[in-house]
Amino acid sequence: MKEERKAGSKDRSNSFFRRNNYRNLIILLLIILTIFVTVFVISYTWVKNKLDKINIDSGFDFSNQDDILPTEEPDPDFQAMHDIDDASSLTEFLKEWANNGGEKMYSKDVLNILLCGVDSADGTISGGRSDAMIMVSINKNTKKITMVSFFRDSYTYMNINGKERYYKVNGAYNWGGPATLVKILEDNYKIRIDYYISVDFVTFPKLIDALGGVELEVKEYEAKYIDRTTHTMTRKFPYGSNVRIYGKEALVYSRIRHCDSDSDISRTRRHRNLISAIIKSAKGASLGQINNALDQTLGYVRTNMKRNEILSYVTQALTQKWMDYEIVGMTMPDVETGGTGVSATINKEFVWIVDYSRAAQDLQNAIYGKTNIELDNNSERKRYINSLFNNTDSSSSKKKKEETTTEPVTKRRSRLFWNPEDPDDEEPDEIDTQDSDERETFYEEANDNFD
């Protein structure tokens, strides 16, 4: 009897579940759907909140096109090879090349983004000159990232909103905005640049501190120069093949240039090193660190990339593991191995004179593995090249690169230190140093005097 009752109870239970299978399935699906919708809403709200902080616009801004930019004094330890009094043949060549209608190379497998580093007092990332210009070229076919530093002093033809100029390329940002700078670089190097991203230098300390610092190589002479000239450091600047530095230290490291006999050449090397270090640090960062980094920096970012495009590229970067790609660096022009640029002074300002046709050919080959440029050694180009590039030292520096002055200072200047966090505070225009035995005492006395 008991067994019969048990069997009857089991049959009724099975019958109940069989009768309610459809309803139970619906309930289960509703629970899953509710969870999915909740996660989606939270994720969407989080993503939208982040994206809304970014300043998105076309990048064209002609409000400052009538500005007369202040003259920049050349670095005293960097010798220009040419003093050009009559630049008429040069300007003719530059204008002809920029306007020759050459096809700009493009590939669906290559994404080119121009990073513009801007110095401003409030991080508005508008106006001013682009102090650093690095194009990050992501080749999804070769799985390689090429970081191209464009020298800010490259002498260039510009047509900005109908007004023609011949000036350093970094002035284009002030006169026409980042999109105008992109167009000028495209016209001269015959490549398509897909987007620009502008950031103010004030974001670097915030970003790097949020990531817990970055590890990179710091040369001994760089660290010693920073110790001698910068009063904002809380410790002696570390040096070595793989040292960890933090926000304010990274800002100082990225801005110094007077410690090198090759000036901006080594400065752009430090820029590329720092970006590579940030990528490496971001790879190992926690979700909390990434979230903090985004909160600290997105409000200081300006770009012409639309929100849906940002999401698309972030997804591609994660799924295709862009951060694991090989990273290589180069400069435009190449003033060391390739000889596509030489130094000169025009109107008492230091500039780089660029063989744009050959430099563009080199850049296309580096990014796309091919070029559509055939060099023409006739007419204007031949005259231009013969007058500026033949029989010259293409490295342009008459001193050994990365060599600082070693003579003791006999007279102490009234102002020794500078503050890299203040855009209006200029880096000292000469290198002050002491014999190695006196450096520690000198450092302590100088800081006391400053206080």
Length of the chain: 451
Q: Please compute the mean of the pLDDT values over residues 370-385 and round it to a whole number.
A: 72
Cα–Cα dist 393/450, whole Å: 42
pLDDT digits (tens, 9 = 90+) for 195-214: 999 988 778 889 999 999 99
Q: Please compute the mean of the pLDDT values over residues 236-258 and round it to a whole number.
A: 91
pLDDT digits (tens, 9 = 90+) for 88-143: 778 888 999 999 988 999 999 999 999 998 876 554 556 677 889 999 999 999 99
Looking at residue 8, what is its pLDDT?
53
Q: Which is nearest to 254 in space by CA: 307, 322, 207, 302?
A: 207
pLDDT digits (tens, 9 = 90+) for 24-51: 777 778 888 888 778 777 777 888 888 9
Instruction: Evaluate if residue 56 carries a pLDDT over 80.
Output: yes
Torsional class of 382: left (φ above 0), alpha (ψ -120 to 50), beta (otherwise): alpha
Residue 256 near residue 425, CB atoms below 8 Å: no
CA dihedral angle for residue 150, residue 151, residue 155, residue 157, rounded to 10 degrees: 20
pLDDT digits (tens, 9 = 90+) for 72-88: 665 655 667 777 777 77
Cα–Cα dist 387/255, whole Å: 34
Q: Please compute the mean of the pLDDT values over residues 290-310 and round it to a whole number.
A: 92
